[in-house]
Amino acid sequence: MHTQTSNSNTIKQVSALLKQARHIAVLSGAGMSTESGIPDFRSAGGLWTRDMSLAEAVSIDYFRANPAEFWHTFKSIFSIKLVGNYQANQGHQFLQWLESQGKRVRILTQNIDGLHQRAGSRDVVELHGSLMKAVCPNCQSYYDLQYIREHPVPLCLKCKQVIKPDVVLYGEPVPHIDLAFSCAAEVDCLLVMGSSLEVSPVNFIPRISMDHQIPTVLINLSSTRMDRGFSHVIHAGIGASCEALLQEMNRA
């Protein structure tokens, strides 16, 4: 169970833990990418709290009923025109650095922005899909981001049906969740970064590690309802926290 300590003491403890760990799982949420300029839709100032109807607008039911309106709203919410211009930040780079040290780092991400891959991480499980592509619900043909950008309502070239972004919409099951649960039970350490842990079933991932007595670390700007269950908690920005961890781990 987590006991309150200063961030500086916790940085030292987490650094020691990460140094010893050979197999690390990382659950990353929206807060992981806010320092790259991507909005956190669930934060206190995010779009989700200003207009709860957005949850309806990105549902599978809305896509099926109003595909043209769905795409208009979807592109506006997720700034499709800007997606390819976002850059990985210190948090993404730190995880790639851990991998470069010979550690096995599996990233279980709630994010759909592709920034972990852009930073060079090789083992990334996109639990909620990716903005980088779309798929035809009929023939399963895939289309890239450029094609999505070029067409207000992108149609499948083969079927002429409206294609769907390759992300998990409200009302759809989460792919790879069983893989994530298995991973959480087998690692040396679970690191949760930038997640409010409000979304089910993803918020069960740290519970599985806790149940298996695996050390768990939370790095998040604000507190969550699950803080007390973590071995270590750092309430600070992702970039600053990862820079501090990197410096500590590089000490002789």
Point out the residues that are catalytic: 128
- Looking at beta carbons, which pairs linking 172-177 to residues 24 or more positions away fall under 8 Å? 172/60, 174/127, 174/128, 174/201, 174/202, 175/127, 175/129, 176/125, 176/126, 176/127, 177/127, 177/201, 177/202
Contact 67, 162 (CB under 8 A): yes
Quickly count: other Cβ atoms within 10 Å of residue 81's Cβ: 11
In b/e form, how buried is each residue of 158-184, taking b as 16+ CB within 10 angstroms? eeeebbbbbbbbeeeebeebeebbebb
Contact 160, 141 (CB under 8 A): no
CA distances (Å), 236 to each of 7, 50, 69, 239, in order? 8, 24, 38, 9
In what side-by-side order are the strands of the sheet with 129-135?
Answer: 142-144, 129-135, 164-167
Do β-strands 232-234 and 124-126 pair in parallel, antiparallel, or remain unpaired?
unpaired
